[in-house]
């Protein structure tokens, strides 16, 4: 392997405790690749890891966080195509077993061998380098902007939702939620040529950006909301958002839930779901098909993540970045760390 210099990494030793530590690149084993990290995004789940709110079994301390990232392949192990060295890449987080029935069906996020994911139970990308199975990598175009590409992990989660929604050209579609996921949902649905695309959220400041991405209407949930939509994707992560999303649908409409409400939240009314014959799907992570779709759409110029980035900080400012993500400040969008 080529010589890779020592760098720094964020190490969360326990909930609420972290330090900046020396990072020694791990030589890639057979089937692995070593990636020089360009940028790593922070989302609410990273904040959960730091605060200790991540559900049991879905985090393992001590831990280098970071599951949203982009970078360049610096070295490879045996059995990996040499042409991969020097390529810009992003990578899947779920470390699936590849042999169970769910993995063979392409549903790697449902792997029956148990949950393992980069940045949660395996070392993540808040470090100078990341070593992972090369099979998880998705190669980007040579001209790709790596800062923009650092947002392709959340985009892939929404791609999974868009694929499940299966919106047809000319259908009426809506998005509930105006965060990073919501804005990606608008872009994916716009690419499908809807007749109408409504965005519902709590941040009026997102109205202009929503329309830039293709929305035809923007409303807050306090306003009168139309009905009879064919497809609604919920991205806000609250039980009330899920109920709002369901209320927008026509009978027989398709609902995709991507947010994870707090434990104990009151959910959808099963009577309403049955009587209206709503088709309900959920998404947790992104399988390979969603990743491949995301990279294709990004490479075709139909996905524009850069307007969502508002802050770029060095690794040493990890605590400040975590605070920004949880601040509730409408001026804070996607926060990136730069190793």
Confidence at residue 209, expressed as pLDDT on a 0 to 100 scale:
96
Interstrand relation of 129-133 and 32-42 (parallel, antiparallel or unpaired)? antiparallel
Q: Using an 8 Å Cβ cutoff, are 100 and 8 in contact?
A: no
Q: What is the pTM of this model?
A: 0.94
Residues 6+ apart with CB under 8 A from 132: 32, 33, 35, 91, 118, 122
Closest by CA position to 288, among listed 149, 34, 104, 118: 104
Residues 6+ apart with CB under 8 A from 300: none
Q: How far apart are CA 234 and CA 159, in angstroms?
A: 13
Torsion angle of the four alpha carbons 107, 110, 115, 120, in this order, in degrees rounded to the nearest 10: 60
Beta-carbon count within 10 A of 279 CB = 15
160: exposed, middle or buried (C-beta count within 10 Å: 0-12, 13-18, 19+)?
Answer: buried
Confidence at residue 1, expressed as pLDDT on a 0 to 100 scale:
46
Q: How far apart are CA 259 and CA 335, in angstroms?
A: 19
Confidence at residue 5, expressed as pLDDT on a 0 to 100 scale:
59
String of b and e for 219-240 (b: at least 16 CB within 10 Å)? beeeeebeeebbbbbbbbbbbe
> In degrees, to the nearest 5, what angle opens at C-alpha 164 toward C-alphas 40 and 210?
60
Q: Using an 8 Å Cβ cutoff, are 261 and 242 in contact?
A: yes
Strand order in the sheet with 172-176: 217-220, 196-201, 172-176, 229-234, 249-257, 279-282
Mean pLDDT by 10 residues, the chain (339 residues): 71 96 96 98 93 91 98 98 98 95 94 95 98 98 98 98 97 97 97 97 93 97 93 94 96 95 83 96 95 97 96 96 90 94
Residue ranges of alpha helices (H) inside the chain are 44-51, 101-104, 146-149, 152-165, 180-190, 207-212, 239-247, 270-275, 288-299, 318-325
Confidence at residue 328, expressed as pLDDT on a 0 to 100 scale:
84
Confidence at residue 62, expressed as pLDDT on a 0 to 100 scale:
97
């Amino acid at each position: 392997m080529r010589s890779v210099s020592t760098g720094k990494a964020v190490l969360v030793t326990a909930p609420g405790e972290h330090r900046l530590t020396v990072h020694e690149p791990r030589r890639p084993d057979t089937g692995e690749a070593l990636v020089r990290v360009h940028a790593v995004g922070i989302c609410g789940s990273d904040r959960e890891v730091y605060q200790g709110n991540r559900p049991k079994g879905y985090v393992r301390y001590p831990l280098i966080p970071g599951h949203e990232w982009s970078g360049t392949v610096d070295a490879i192990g045996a059995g990996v195509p040499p042409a991969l060295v020097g390529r810009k890449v992003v990578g899947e987080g779920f470390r699936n077993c590849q042999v169970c029935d769910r993995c063979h069906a392409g549903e790697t996020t449902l792997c029956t061998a148990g949950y393992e994911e980069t940045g949660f139970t395996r070392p993540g990308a808040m470090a100078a380098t990341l070593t992972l199975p090369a099979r998880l990598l998705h190669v980007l175009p040579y001209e790709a902007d790596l800062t923009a590409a650092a947002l392709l992990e959340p985009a892939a989660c929404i791609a999974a939702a868009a694929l499940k929604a299966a919106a047809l050209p000319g259908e009426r579609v809506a998005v509930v939620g105006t965060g990073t996921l919501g804005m990606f949902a608008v872009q994916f649905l716009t690419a499908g040529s809807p007749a109408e695309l409504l965005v519902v959220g709590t941040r009026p400041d997102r109205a202009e950006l929503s329309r830039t991405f293709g929305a035809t209407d923007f409303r807050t949930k306090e306003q009168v909301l139309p009905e009879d939509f064919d497809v609604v994707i919920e991205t806000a992560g609250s039980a009330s958002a899920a109920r709002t999303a369901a209320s927008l649908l026509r009978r027989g409409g398709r609902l995709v839930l991507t947010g994870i409400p707090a434990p104990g939240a009151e959910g959808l009314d099963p009577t309403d779901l049955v009587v209206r014959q709503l088709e309900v799907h959920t998404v947790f992570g992104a399988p390979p098909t969603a990743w491949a779709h995301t990279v294709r759409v990004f490479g075709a110029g139909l996905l524009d993540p850069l307007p969502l980035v508002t802050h770029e900080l060095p690794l040493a400012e990890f605590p400040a970045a975590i605070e920004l993500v949880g601040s509730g400040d409408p001026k804070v969008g996607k926060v990136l760390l730069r190793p």
